[in-house]
Amino acid sequence: MNVQFKKGVIELLVLSLLNRKDRYGYELVEAISQSIEIAEGTIYPLLKRMTDEGYFKTYLQESAEGPPRKYYQMTTKGRTYFDELRKEWREFSKSVEKILGE
């Protein structure tokens, strides 16, 4: 898997997954890992940054399977940003396909 392809796209995927429901960091790693190789060292700093930027809020919840989970909940700002970024992604990938198919 080409590492460079991922730059910026991971952010989009996290937004997409959190758009549907609250999730905790480790869960996001597992969800994304099913399609795209991803490391924890990528996700945790990303979640921290995006929370600082106001896209998510967090809350803790006890778990029977280990330490407490930190859930991330999308804000209105996050939803707006997600819509924008998804649109940009689709335009971008369409442009790539255009050049590939020429």
- Would you tell me which residues interact with DNA (CB under 7 A)? 3-4, 6-11, 24-27, 37-42, 44-49, 63-67, 69-70
Residues in the chain: 102
Q: In this structure, are residues 17 and 32 in contact, taking their beta carbons and an 8 Å threshold? A: yes
For residues 41 to 60, the per-residue mask of contacts with a second copy, x marking binding by CB under 8 A and - elsewhere, is --------------------
Q: Which does 74 bind (CB under 5 to 8 A by kind): a second copy, DNA, none?
A: none
Element (H, E) at 62: none
Among 18, 32, 43, 47, binds a second copy (CB under 8 A): 32
- Contacts of residue 70, defined as CB under 8 A and 6 or more positions apart, other chains included, come to 24, 25, 58, 59, 60
